[in-house]
Amino acid sequence: MLGKGQSLSDDHEVMRYFPSSKLKKDEHGNILGFLPQAFQDPDAVSVNWLEFFSGDRQQRIEASVRIFRSTLKVRSSSAFGTARVAVIKHVGKVYEATLRVVYAPEGSNLSHSEIRHIPTENYELLAALADEAFSCLIKNADIID
């Protein structure tokens, strides 16, 4: 098990919660992806470390969603996205930023981690995180509790 502040392995995956206001939608309200603004946090972007949980990928996703639902006000219109740590770091390198993904347990969310050192003024990097790194979109309504 990692200690607080240690980097997650490149082959691991993280999940982020996206409220409806941070989702890219078409004119009919269909979710198309994530808005770059969802990654504009001057300190760090909160994520859950999927490999913290046991089981296969689907079981880890469901466990992470349960944590989000127990610690945040998650509405049915929201969604989640997953990304590999290596892809997050690669996107940072492309835009000359050294992004770190570190374990940062918080309260009852022991899977909590953070993406650190995101230059919030670099819109291209934020867009790449939204479109390339977080390429797997999971609608909240599709995960039955």
Residue 144 is predicted with a pLDDT of 80
pTM score: 0.94
Secondary structure E strands in the chain = 13-18, 23-25, 31-34, 44-49, 79-84, 100-103, 112-116, 136-139
Mean pLDDT score, 82-107: 97
- Confidence band for 96, pLDDT divided at 50, 70 and 90: very high
User: Of 80, 73, 100, 104, which Cα lies nearest the Cα of 89?
Assistant: 100
Please tell me which residue, 77 or 87, carries the higher pLDDT value.
87
Residue 1 is predicted with a pLDDT of 78
Residue 143 is predicted with a pLDDT of 85
Contact 20, 77 (CB under 8 A): yes
